[in-house]
Structure 1
Amino acid sequence: MAIIGNIIKGIIHATDIISSEYNAAEEQRSVLKNLLETAKETKFGEKYQFNDVLESNNPEKVYREKVPFSDYNQITTNWWEDVQEGKKDVTWPGSPDYFALSSGTTGKTNKRIPVTDAMVSAIRRAGIQQVLALRNFDLPADFFEKEIMMLGSSTDLEEYNNALEGEISGISASNIPFWFENYYKPGKEIAKIDDWDMRIQRIAEKAADWDIGALSGIPSWMELMLQKVIDYNSLNNIHEIWPNLQVYTSGGVAFGPYKKSFNALLGKPITVIDTYLASEGFIAFQDRPETDAMKLVTDNGIYFEFVPFNPDYIKPDGSLVQNAPSLTISEVELNQDYVLVISTVAGAWRYLIGDTIEFTDIERAEIKITGRTKFFLNTVGSQLSVNKLNDAVQHLEKEYDIEIPEYTLCANRIKDDFYHCWYLGTDSKIDTEKLSKSLDNFLKDANKNYKVARSKALEGVKVNTVSPSIFHDWSGANKKKGGQVKMERVMGQDRFAEWETFVASKI
């Protein structure tokens, strides 16, 4: 009998009894006031008159009137360069304990994002909220006695100006509470290995010693790890070595495109729970099994604003025009794409995180990530979000019974005409003309703007298929394997030319 598991499960379920009624708007007002109060004597707080904002009758309105939007480049040039040099009380009291290195999707340059002790604590609290939400998933008591494989970047952090730096997954793993250490795998020693291939090799060698009940990590790298464990131990599927595996906590990118290839590595179905942990904070997690949408963490050090996703508000580099309107969580509508803007306990203020979201349930504050501001495909008016592109790829998987875990595309000018040029990552041999026609027809039906564009300046669709391993090699060439870098779903023409040269070198 799972005695400890029953105790833990009982505690988790008891929290549901004592929890108060949820009001996201009130929680967000409180978060904003706490942020402003804490940072009012920083250089940023003094410049933008946080004291005046706090004394106003409508702090949300005055805050957005006084403080400009910033993306990473803007806030770094104006403020975070001083933070990175070790200066104190710039955008948050004191100086950060960590810097989260993030290369985003291109991997070309490292962003160095402040991570304060307050943010580390907020991430930990959000993680506890997610664990408590497991009461909604009807998991057996013995699940709570199993080990958890957290696959992220190396926890071997480097010193930088009296702080430590590394990717957010490594920072989070290096700050796990002591009581969790016995559950955490691959353990501190293996997690510190910087070389991805060496770390995965050690995991494969030790896999038989562990009783893994849950996995956590980015889908693409998780798949590669599972495949390595399967191959090294001569298995048919991962459940032959981890029979009690029941939950996968996905994050970093949408799980949908990986669903079919991921499930092919399993011996039986498992529960997939989506999370939204960015370098800037723990933003949302899936709270219940009835939906794959995620609940915003509205009471935990992040204040959210939502800019309606309108091409007129987006600059070519993906940043926002300063007169773009922003909404609070009490003003949003269902099924509308919004650019996500955050203010945090790490000293990010009206910060453009780069993602677009839509609300699926406003009362529960549940969202889905629909894409990236830089990945919105609007050449010749096609107006396609990553969400629609993911749907199109999953349509192909279903129609042709194939796996396409990776893809990228570009609105490419060929001679005088524009084409949507796709590369699909699949080992299946399917006629590319059929794939092109199927993609084109699906997107015409799914998006009226695309259909209009196809009748005008968008000439057609071209498809190439390549091995998914080429996508992994591309990510590895741009940045260390296994890191937070994600595959670009939409590329500009210059980047796409680099991609095609890389593909040609691998074929």
Structure 2
Amino acid sequence: MKFKSLLAKPFASIVSAKLRKEMHRAVEDQEAIWQELVKTGKKTEFGKDHHYDDIRNYDDFIKAVPIRDYELFKPYIEKIKEGKHNILWTGQPIYLAKTSGTTSGIKYIPISKDSISNHMDTARNALLNYMSETGRTDFADRKMIFLSGSPELERVGGIPTGRLSGIVNHHVPSYLRTNQLPSYQTNCIEDWETKLAAIVEETYHQDMSLISGIPPWMQMYFDRLIEKSGGKLIKDIFKNLEVIVYGGVNFEPYRAKLMASIGKPIATIETYPASEGFFAFQDTQEHQGLLLNTNSGIFYEFIPANEIFNENPTRISLKDVQVGVNYALIINNNAGLWGYNIGDTVKFLSTNPYRIAVTGRIKHFISAFGEHVIGEEVEYSLMKAAREEGVHITEFTVAPRVQVDGELPYHEWFVEFENAPANLADFARKVDENMRGKNIYYDDLLTGNILQPLKIRPVRRQGFIEYMKSIGKLGGQNKVPRLSNDRKLADELEAYVVR
């Protein structure tokens, strides 16, 4: 056993023991965090605007602080970008995390000196907890690759600004720097394909033990490695590869192809990071779900997903959540986000401890006919059919086809197959049956002859990659939306469909 893995073992045990204790006092920790947030918030312009001095309890807070998305936060963010202090949190943010929004254009999310530890400590805890549970610490002595954005930062209002993955790169502990790949210079390459080629060259002959990134771009990395090796599997290129860490999208649609590329079963650690905070991570290999990060400067609120667009939706704290209900996730954090709707939906798989699954995006749904289809349902329906048929899916998205000459409307699925099903019509029928079993509204619409069964449009190989490249969103943390309630994405994908 080498030096780093030797030191990691007792540290991992300490962190794991702390997490086990926090599991059982989650509600109490949330209450304490809420009180601290409001206490500090009183000193800010936002707190004065919303009468924080008059807040005595959570009900007062609900009345004083409405739910907001980024658009409604922009006036405060603009003041921060002008260099003003004490706007959303005391002082100034130490960073602005730059992220793309579908309606807001570029978003600037504040990260404070108080909130940076949420991002760094949670990532560390996810790995240490895995070490403690499995007893595997050897990978700490080998190379680890983090597929991330550029660490080069610009300044906005005097504040360092860039992608979150680039920001956290500056806070990697010194004891991991010698293990970390790719190099700083390679990480600074902006063009994704140029960067990927450089990463392959830098890492191909390394003793890699851990790979972290979002699944579609991890697959691109694997494809390039396999091509360079003349067809070797990843297990034969990186003989000591032990674990992959992922987040950002549901892993299941990518699992089969990734594991086939690796060539052997391998441990996975799911994480739930965002520019607004690191919310949850997989704390055990034995159970499904992600442990909610309840003692890290974030106070969570939850709104039943079907009420999120109501004028006065039901708004609850952690103690009142129920298993199996889809909730819109609302956060308040120690960087000054208040009643902030991050746009994700989650459901609790358990409340002892509080473990969640991410079920989709609020804006990513189809309800052109009242069917209320969400991402969790389409992913389940496609992957169940794929497993049964031995089919591997590379990427997919779904949109409604509303106006159809002479026939009923339907849901149109654009699917890129690694290996196509023997009979596409039979495969589509299985997916449709799965959807009907998963969503009663969808089933009713087909039964009532309002919709016809879904249709699958096969996308050519590399089609989604070519599309993302064409819109300037290849690589990084960019993802293809699973669902659209309009035809914009579907119409653009027409050029990539197999004729």
TM-score range with shorter-chain normalisation? over 0.9
State the one-letter code of the partner of 1:49.
H
- Asked if the contact 1:70/1:351 (under 8 Å) is kept, the reply is yes
Deviation at 1:150, TM superposition (A): 0.6
Instruction: Please state whether the residue corresponding to 1:381 is helix, strand or coil.
Output: coil
Instruction: Please state whether the residue corresponding to 2:430 is helix, strand or coil.
Output: helix
Cα distance change, pair 387–418 in 1 and its aligned pair in 2 (3 A):
same
Give the one of 179, 193, 198 matched to 2:175.
179
The residue that corresponds to 1:11 in the other structure is 11
Is 428-437 or 256-265 further displaced after alignment? Answer: 428-437
TM-superposition CA deviations, 1:449-485 (whole Å, max 9, x none): 2211212322331110113521122223333422222
Deviation at 1:363, TM superposition (A): 1.6
Residue 500 (1) aligns with residue 493 (2)? yes
Q: Which has the higher contact order (CA 8 A, sep 6+)?
A: 1
Is 270-279 or 197-206 further displaced after alignment? Answer: 197-206
- Asked if the contact 1:216/1:249 (under 8 Å) is kept, the reply is yes
The residue that corresponds to 1:419 in the other structure is 410
Deviation at 1:121, TM superposition (A): 2.1
Give the one of 362, 367, 371 matched to 1:373.
362
Instruction: Please state whether the residue corresponding to 1:83 is helix, strand or coil.
Output: helix
State the one-letter code of the partner of 1:462.
K
Return the alpha-carbon distance in structure 2 between the equivalents of residues 193 and 211 of structure 1. Answer: 23
- Asked if the contact 1:375/1:490 (under 8 Å) is kept, the reply is yes
Q: Percent identity, aligned pairs only?
A: 28
Give the one of 278, 287, 293 matched to 1:291.
287
The residue that corresponds to 2:477 in the other structure is 484
State the one-letter code of the partner of 1:268.
K
State the one-letter code of the partner of 1:134.
Y
- Asked if the contact 1:219/1:250 (under 8 Å) is kept, the reply is yes
- Asked if the contact 2:270/2:290 (under 8 Å) is kept, the reply is yes
The residue that corresponds to 2:452 in the other structure is 459
Residue 361 (1) aligns with residue 350 (2)? yes
The 5 A counterparts of 1:37-76 are 37-53=39-55, 56=56, 59-76=57-74
- Asked if the contact 1:136/1:287 (under 8 Å) is kept, the reply is no
Is 487-496 or 216-225 further displaced after alignment? Answer: 487-496
State the one-letter code of the partner of 1:75.
F
Residue 79 (1) aligns with residue 62 (2)? no
- Asked if the contact 1:207/1:229 (under 8 Å) is kept, the reply is no
Give the one of 343, 366, 378 matched to 2:332.
343
TM-score (norm 1): 0.92
Deviation at 1:349, TM superposition (A): 0.7
The 5 A counterparts of 1:144-155 are 144-155=140-151
Deviation at 1:361, TM superposition (A): 1.0
The residue that corresponds to 1:317 in the other structure is none
TM-superposition CA deviations, 1:351-377 (whole Å, max 9, x none): 111110000011211000011111122
The residue that corresponds to 1:227 in the other structure is 223
The residue that corresponds to 1:443 in the other structure is 435
Deviation at 1:112, TM superposition (A): 2.0
The 5 A counterparts of 1:86-105 are 86-104=83-101
Return the alpha-carbon distance in structure 1 between the equivalents of residues 174 and 14 of structure 2. Answer: 23
Residue 429 (1) aligns with residue 425 (2)? no
Deviation at 1:183, TM superposition (A): 1.8
The residue that corresponds to 2:386 in the other structure is 397
Give the one of 32, 36, 39 matched to 1:34.
36
- Asked if the contact 1:107/1:485 (under 8 Å) is kept, the reply is no
State the one-letter code of the partner of 2:410.
Y
- Asked if the contact 1:155/1:173 (under 8 Å) is kept, the reply is yes
Instruction: Please state whether the residue corresponding to 1:414 is helix, strand or coil.
Output: coil
Return the alpha-carbon distance in structure 1 between the equivalents of residues 114 and 458 of structure 2. Answer: 46
- Asked if the contact 2:303/2:327 (under 8 Å) is kept, the reply is yes
Instruction: Please state whether the residue corresponding to 1:249 is helix, strand or coil.
Output: strand
Return the alpha-carbon distance in structure 1 between the equivalents of residues 429 and 263 of structure 2. Answer: 34
5+ residue gaps, structure 2, are none
Is 271-280 or 182-191 further displaced after alignment? Answer: 182-191
Deviation at 1:110, TM superposition (A): 2.0
TM-superposition CA deviations, 1:173-210 (whole Å, max 9, x none): 22212222112111322212222112211121122442
Instruction: Please state whether the residue corresponding to 1:197 is helix, strand or coil.
Output: helix
Deviation at 1:334, TM superposition (A): 0.5
Return the alpha-carbon distance in structure 2 between the equivalents of residues 396 and 468 of structure 1. Answer: 20
Cα distance change, pair 18–372 in 1 and its aligned pair in 2 (3 A):
closer
The residue that corresponds to 2:464 in the other structure is 471
Give the one of 165, 168, 173 matched to 1:169.
165
